[in-house]
A = this chain, B = another copy of it.
Amino acid sequence: MTDSEPEKWMREALQEAKLAYLIGEVPIGAVVVHNGEIIGRGHNLREHGQDATLHAEVLAIQEACEYLHSWRLEDCQLYVTLEPCIMCSGAIINARIPVVYYGARDPKAGAVHSLYQLLGDERLNHQVEVHERLLARPAGELLQRFFRGIRERQKAAKKARRQATEKN
């Protein structure tokens, strides 16, 4: 079975998430699409950049703005593997992106459905058409694998410390 058009772009966002995974960042990826072409890509770089604003969506939006020489991404779609947080939802609104697809929900920090429904707020001067749960499974599995790896390393480190203490 071949991918639908949105699935094709979400697979590109997943590739970005995998790049984050490979360097030990929480694996989240995003792409901005314009006229059937990717004009912005990003993956979470918070730890490598030691900068709280370096989320996948912000990086993809910045690259797209640079490409179009415009802060208005009016004919663009954003694809992101995880439900955007408050900051990224605000960046999507500020950039006037009309359509967003995301993968897995984020019950702790998601601001599109989970904690807030920011992208549909009619008091703001821009509303966004949202499609959720697109390739949510691989996006969620990648995140689970990442956090399981962290827990296993913490467990192993604790065990090694205990064994070292017992020897002394």
Contacts and interface: CB of A to CB of B under 8 A. Distances in A.
A85 interface: yes
Contacts of A66: 50-51
A33 interface: no
A116 interface: yes
Contacts of A46: 71
Nearest to A51: B65
A49 to B, nearest CB: 8
Nearest to A94: B52
A54 B95 CA distance: 11
A15 interface: no
Interface string A37-78: 000000000110111111100100110011011111100000
Contact of A58 (B53, B68, B109): B53
Interface stretch (A120-128, A129-137, A141-149, A160-168): A120-128
A61 B71 contact: no
A150 interface: no
B94 A85 contact: yes
Contact of A71 (B52, B62, B72): B52
Contacts of A72: 52
A95 B46 CA distance: 10
Interface string A92-132: 01111000000000001101000110100101110000000
A134 to B, nearest CB: 23
Interface in A13-52: 46-47, 49-52
5 contacts: A49-B71, A51-B66, A87-B90, A87-B93, A90-B111
